Amino acid sequence: MELKPISGDPPRPRVVGRVNWRGLWTLYMKEVWRFLNVFAQTLAAPLVTALLFFLIFNLALGRAVETAGGVPYPQFLAPGLIMMTLVQNSFANTSSSILIAKVQGNIVDVLMPPLSATELTVGFAMGGVTRGLMVGVAVLIGLLPFAPVEIHDPIAIVYYAFMASLMLSLLGMIGGIWAEKFDHLAAITNFVITPLSFLSGTFYSIQRLPEEWHIAAFVNPFFYMIDGLRYGFIGHADGSIAVGAVLVLAVNAVLMLWTHRMIATGYKLKA
């Protein structure tokens, strides 16, 4: 029996250019679908938490503080809650994604493909940004029946929401790479993320604080993120929008370089 040669060109390895766009897109979609597969935990739970915070603080302070920043207190409170929920979930989702991969031993599946440290950093970070923005939009929609929202500056809303999601995604990557168990992530959340969120003017205007407390707010990058988003919705800001825009950009640049360095050197990622 005569064997005939198979027609067509033999299989060849795919050539990867300067940027592995397919690999980058695959990593990004992996992070997004991981988030959506447990939407009850990643979308519904933050929405319920934000609504509970809104109802409790509105009932507790709404009568004593009818207006803040020149608008009714519910409208003042809503942007802060959106940002706080976005921030906390961007960190939690990104950090848990990396730590789970490390604990289960499948982080090698991400490190072995032809993806550079830059592509890994961007893929994980953009996945975290998408997840954070999804949570922010869900909370915004959930709060609309209770606090009609007016858009004062859409550019400020998009800029600060994106920058906040990126900042906490990068922090989540740093935390996930550094942590060896979930207790370490819980410590970062309890002693860093939550205090900075609550002390950033989420539920109040810092103008109501004693003068000495203003400095504590102005050195807190979370304050500028919440203040900028609030300005985008109601047109009121306790601090400088320009300073806040530059500060969050600078912080993100430093975090991006830090994260890239950790991945490039394989810190706590490669045995």
Q: How far apart are CA 244 and CA 187, in angstroms?
A: 27
Alpha helices by DSSP H, listed for 37-116, are 39, 45-61, 73-104, 108-111
Using one digit for the tens of pLDDT, what is the confidence trace for 194-206?
889 888 888 888 8
Using one digit for the tens of pLDDT, what is the confidence trace for 90-128?
999 999 999 999 998 888 888 888 899 999 999 999 999
State residue 205's pLDDT score. 83
- Residue 8 counted as domain residue: no
Report the number of distinct structural domains present in the chain: 1
State residue 63's pLDDT score. 63
Residues 243 and 251: beta-carbon distance below 8 Å: no
- Residue 178 counted as domain residue: yes
Instruction: For the chain, list residues with pLDDT below 70.
Output: 1-17, 61-65, 271
Which residue range is the domain that position 77 belongs to? 22-265
State residue 161's pLDDT score. 96
- Residue 271 counted as domain residue: no
State residue 73's pLDDT score. 83
- Residue 31 counted as domain residue: yes
Cβ neighbours of 258 (radius 10 Å): 14
**What's the whole-model pTM score?**
0.90
Share of residues in the chain with pLDDT > 70 (%): 91
